[in-house]
A and B are shown apart, each in its own frame.
Chain A
């Protein structure tokens, strides 16, 4: 089976609300694809349609070219973790995996093997109701891996985890992708995917906003910008703006300059007698790139909390004020 996920013109409406609105994208093997968007962007609904839990109004979601309902031994083709809390509290953790294994005729030894792999070997006999959230996430991942599937679908797997748990899952996901599996991981926080995703599918209001590799996105967001540290911020801004650069202040002593090469900036500052301590290519964070990406999607922005958009907005205002200040 080709280890891919294909979402084609998928659409789903709940009453008046359009949850998924003509979404299309492809998830390829050998990499972790982050599925990002704010809460309510349609990520979970898309995943549920992919797994045959919800029926799409139109379009289709395919795994290896087939609809989920037509898979004969689904656990051997797709592993899914939708909601780690979805375990019967009075059933033992091991028994939760056991009934799943029995549905496909896997032996109990497979269950023990996975409990070992996710670090729950000693907790397997405890009732799942006594598990911490981190333990349930591990149990859910073990369940997803039972059939050794080439495709993995995980909905918000790090949500609510402690840093140790987050690190574990990130490493685990990278390892799974390195084994050649197609891994789709949703998150409402771009920063959660910073170190684990290779590719990103960004959605808002059920629509596709971007389908890009993390490297490309970061490069585009970083642009030709240069970060500069200087104690004479105003002097530097005036000097560089005169040469046609766009300068944004992003801290009391730091500036982001675009429109001028690094060497030219060094030359200008040196000849102009403006002191500076650090200069280098600006590296955007994934979060910045995400904000930039979603800046134009006006309706999308209203979903976001004001605080989330604030850093970008502040920088823009600062630039405008400073520029005006230079002219007067």
Chain B
């Protein structure tokens, strides 16, 4: 397994797209975070102190964009092997397919968690710099507070799970465009369905079971009672999606001719 891990890590770090995508995770997250924190105001509240805006969640809104780069990163780790044909070299060097996929999942998740940490800490910093200018002076965005720490750590883990889901989907679909479309569909189109579905019960179900809306419940630090799903249970739903994706990928990868 050590050899397989080392090979996958070398493979990952020797293509420029890896570094571009990991940079994009942070850049996109920060950019959207700056926009959302920059445009929020306390005008609607009776007084700034009575504003119950979830500033932590607001600062982390950028993940909605950053996750797309993570999805592309996870997909490419697998699909580029089929696109370029290197999958044959990979499997002649490491014939155990379960080992190949496990090694890929490990290095891809590791790199995503590292990039995700940078993205999340940066976003909180951006929020901390911008929000006071909009009247939210009493919200320090400190990680010493339990809910804020949960939101930060949970968001990083969420990105790791997105990477695993993407890898699994790519192992099934094999084609880059197809796999990215599938993952982005799951992340963006599924939550968008809420707008189209009239029935409230179904709206709630989608919120509870769609990977992105459920998983990002972990970002909430206020008004938890009003959420369709709790923070950790939401992340667990995302975990189930990632697990299912990897399992499907592993099954197909083992059974199919390469």
Which residue of the partner chain B has the closest CB to A94?
A: B14
Q: Are A52 and B91 in contact (CB under 8 A)?
A: yes
Given A54-B257, A88-B84, A88-B86, residue A80 in contact with residue B3 (CB < 8 A): no
Q: Are B85 and A103 in contact (CB under 8 A)?
A: no
- Please measure, in the bound complex, the distance between the C-alpha atom of A53 and the C-alpha atom of B3, giving whole angstroms: 19
Chain A neighbourhood of B17, CB < 8 A: 90
Chain B neighbourhood of A74, CB < 8 A: 92-93, 95
Within 8 A of B (CB), among A80-118: 80, 82-83, 85-92, 95-96, 98-100, 102-105
Chain B neighbourhood of A100, CB < 8 A: 7, 89, 93
Q: Is B196 an interface residue (CB 8 A)?
A: no
Given A52-B91, A83-B85, residue A90 in contact with residue B15 (CB < 8 A): yes
Find A95's partner among B10, B85, B89 (CB 8 Å cutoff).
Answer: B10
Chain A neighbourhood of B11, CB < 8 A: 91, 99
Find B3's partner among A82, A86, A89, A104 (CB 8 Å cutoff).
Answer: A104
Which residue of the partner chain B has the closest CB to A84?
A: B85
Given A53-B257, A53-B258, A54-B257, residue A143 in contact with residue B14 (CB < 8 A): no
* Nearest CB on B from A255, distance (A): 50
Contact code string A212-245 (vs B, CB < 8 Å = 1, else 0): 0000000000000000000000000000000000
Q: Quick one: which of A69, A75, A95, A102 has the most chain B CB within 10 A?
A: A102
Q: Is B94 an interface residue (CB 8 A)?
A: yes
Q: Is A35 an interface residue (CB 8 A)?
A: no
Find B88's partner among A53, A89, A104 (CB 8 Å cutoff).
Answer: A53
Q: Are B91 and A143 in contact (CB under 8 A)?
A: no
Q: Is B110 an interface residue (CB 8 A)?
A: no
Q: Is A290 an interface residue (CB 8 A)?
A: no
* Nearest CB on B from A74, distance (A): 6
Which residue of the partner chain B has the closest CB to A14?
A: B257
Find B10's partner among A51, A85, A89, A98 (CB 8 Å cutoff).
Answer: A98
Chain B neighbourhood of A104, CB < 8 A: 3, 93
Q: Are A99 and B10 in contact (CB under 8 A)?
A: yes
Q: Is A55 an interface residue (CB 8 A)?
A: yes
Which residue of the partner chain A has the closest CB to B10?
A: A99
- Please measure, in the bound complex, the distance between the C-alpha atom of A51 and the C-alpha atom of B93, giving whole angstroms: 10
Which residue of the partner chain B has the closest CB to A146?
A: B93
* Nearest CB on A from B94, distance (A): 6
Find A86's partner among B88, B93, B96 (CB 8 Å cutoff).
Answer: B88
Interface size on A, residues (CB 8 A): 33
Within 8 A of A (CB), among B1-45: 2-4, 6-11, 14-17
Which residue of the partner chain A has the closest CB to B12?
A: A99
Q: Is B117 an interface residue (CB 8 A)?
A: no
Q: Are B14 and A71 in contact (CB under 8 A)?
A: no
Find B91's partner among A53, A55, A102 (CB 8 Å cutoff).
Answer: A53
Find B92's partner among A75, A91, A95 (CB 8 Å cutoff).
Answer: A75
Within 8 A of A (CB), among B196-250: none
Q: Are B3 and A105 in contact (CB under 8 A)?
A: yes
* Nearest CB on B from A197, distance (A): 23
Q: Are A102 and B15 in contact (CB under 8 A)?
A: no
Q: Are B89 and A51 in contact (CB under 8 A)?
A: no
Q: Are B3 and A95 in contact (CB under 8 A)?
A: no
Q: Are A143 and B6 in contact (CB under 8 A)?
A: no
Q: Are B6 and A86 in contact (CB under 8 A)?
A: no
Find B14's partner among A82, A89, A98 (CB 8 Å cutoff).
Answer: A98
* Nearest CB on A from B157, distance (A): 28
Q: Are B95 and A143 in contact (CB under 8 A)?
A: no
Chain A neighbourhood of B16, CB < 8 A: 90
Q: Are B6 and A102 in contact (CB under 8 A)?
A: yes
Chain A neighbourhood of B2, CB < 8 A: 105
- Please measure, in the bound complex, the distance between the C-alpha atom of A278 and the C-alpha atom of B95, giving whole angstroms: 59
- Please measure, in the bound complex, the distance between the C-alpha atom of A158 and the C-alpha atom of B10, giving whole angstroms: 29
Within 8 A of A (CB), among B41-82: 80
- Please measure, in the bound complex, the distance between the C-alpha atom of A88 and the C-alpha atom of B15, giving whole angstroms: 8
Chain B neighbourhood of A55, CB < 8 A: 257
- Please measure, in the bound complex, the distance between the C-alpha atom of A105 and the C-alpha atom of B93, giving whole angstroms: 11
Q: Are A102 and B84 in contact (CB under 8 A)?
A: no
- Please measure, in the bound complex, the distance between the C-alpha atom of A89 and the C-alpha atom of B81, giving whole angstroms: 11
Chain B neighbourhood of A92, CB < 8 A: 14
Q: Are A86 and B10 in contact (CB under 8 A)?
A: no
- Please measure, in the bound complex, the distance between the C-alpha atom of A54 and the C-alpha atom of B97, giving whole angstroms: 12
Chain B neighbourhood of A103, CB < 8 A: 3-4, 6-7, 93-94
- Please measure, in the bound complex, the distance between the C-alpha atom of A53 and the C-alpha atom of B95, giving whole angstroms: 8
Contact code string B93-112 (vs A, CB < 8 Å = 1, else 0): 11110000000000000000
Q: Are A86 and B84 in contact (CB under 8 A)?
A: yes
- Please measure, in the bound complex, the distance between the C-alpha atom of A75 and the C-alpha atom of B91, giving whole angstroms: 11
* Nearest CB on B from A1, distance (A): 16
Which residue of the partner chain B has the closest CB to A105?
A: B3
The 4 A-B residue pairs with the shortest CB-CB distance in the complex, in nearest-first order: A86-B85, A103-B7, A95-B14, A99-B10
The contact sample of 14 A-B pairs, CB cut-off 8 A, is: A51-B91, A53-B88, A53-B91, A53-B92, A75-B93, A83-B85, A83-B88, A86-B86, A88-B15, A88-B84, A88-B86, A99-B7, A102-B7, A102-B10
